[in-house]
Amino acid sequence: MDEHDRFLPKYYKISREIIAKIQSGELLPGMKVPSENEIINTYNVSNTTARKILNEIENAGWATRIKGKGTFVKTRNVDRSVTRILGFTKNMIEAGYKPSTKLLDASILEEDYTDTINGRNYTLASPIYRIKRLRFADNVPMMLEVRYISLFLCPDINKKDLEKPLYDYYQDLYHHRLTEVNQMISTIIIKDEETDRLFGVDKRIPAFLVSGVTFTGREIILEMERSIYRGDRYSFSVRAT
């Protein structure tokens, strides 16, 4: 525990402990959060405090109280369909959130970029415009995105407003038809201090690492991506037929 924690009210500290269990996946969506009585016994608190703890968890959006049944861990907030080419902005609007973006870094690379995706090597030729952005839903940081964009296929994209959806630029400004996106979804434990700081989490949480390559026309690489999606806020939805 952090040395500053002793200044926090008890109900708040305990609610954070329980939320950390949801974030790490120890308590899964649909599972019951400890009841008022269990909290009283486990943490040795009054029933007023136990109620405050449950309210805090519910108000922070992690659980739902069902009358006469208990408090249950909510489903992950955002589902992302993996089989549609869908940018973050549109995904969030469809899910009912207000998306926003913070540009963290932008630079021009004079070297090619290579990544292995689903066992195959893909190389994007230089010059490359590399941008790093933090993406928010209702002001909660959701995803740390790094994208590598062909400056040959998208000249002067480095002079555009990078808080707008890139897919719109590709299609409307540069008239590239996106033909295919290949992505590889891996899972990691967020350890990197910078990432922790950006996401504002103070516990180890699992995350999705998404590496992708976007093609225009016949197998021409337009951009590549390597992004980290918070595992406590995201799940991927799949429909196979």
Binding stretches for a second copy (CB under 8 A):
24-26, 28-30, 75-76, 79, 82-86, 115-119, 179-189, 191, 204-209, 231, 235-241
Residues 6+ apart with CB under 8 A from 43: 14, 50, 53
Taking the least distance from each CB to a second copy, the nearer of 87 and 127 is 87
Alpha-carbon distance 222 to 209, whole Å? 20
Instruction: Tell me the closest approach of the beta carbon of residue 112 to a second copy, in angstroms.
Output: 14
Taking the least distance from each CB to a second copy, the nearer of 151 and 210 is 210
Q: Strand ranges (DSSP E) for 62-112?
A: 63-66, 70-73, 78-81, 99-109
Taking the least distance from each CB to a second copy, the nearer of 44 and 241 is 241
Taking the least distance from each CB to a second copy, the nearer of 1 and 240 is 240
Taking the least distance from each CB to a second copy, the nearer of 85 and 173 is 85
The angle formed by the CA atoms of residues 169, 171 and 172, to the nearest 5 degrees, is 65
Instruction: Tell me the closest approach of the beta carbon of residue 21 to a second copy, in angstroms.
Output: 9
Instruction: Tell me the closest approach of the beta carbon of residue 198 to a second copy, in angstroms.
Output: 17
Instruction: Tell me the closest approach of the beta carbon of residue 98 to a second copy, in angstroms.
Output: 19
Instruction: Tell me the closest approach of the beta carbon of residue 59 to a second copy, in angstroms.
Output: 20
Alpha-carbon distance 49 to 88, whole Å? 39
Q: Residue 62 region, left (φ>0) first, then alpha (ψ -120 to 50), else beta? A: alpha
Residue 170 phi, psi dihedral angles, 5° rounding: -55, -45
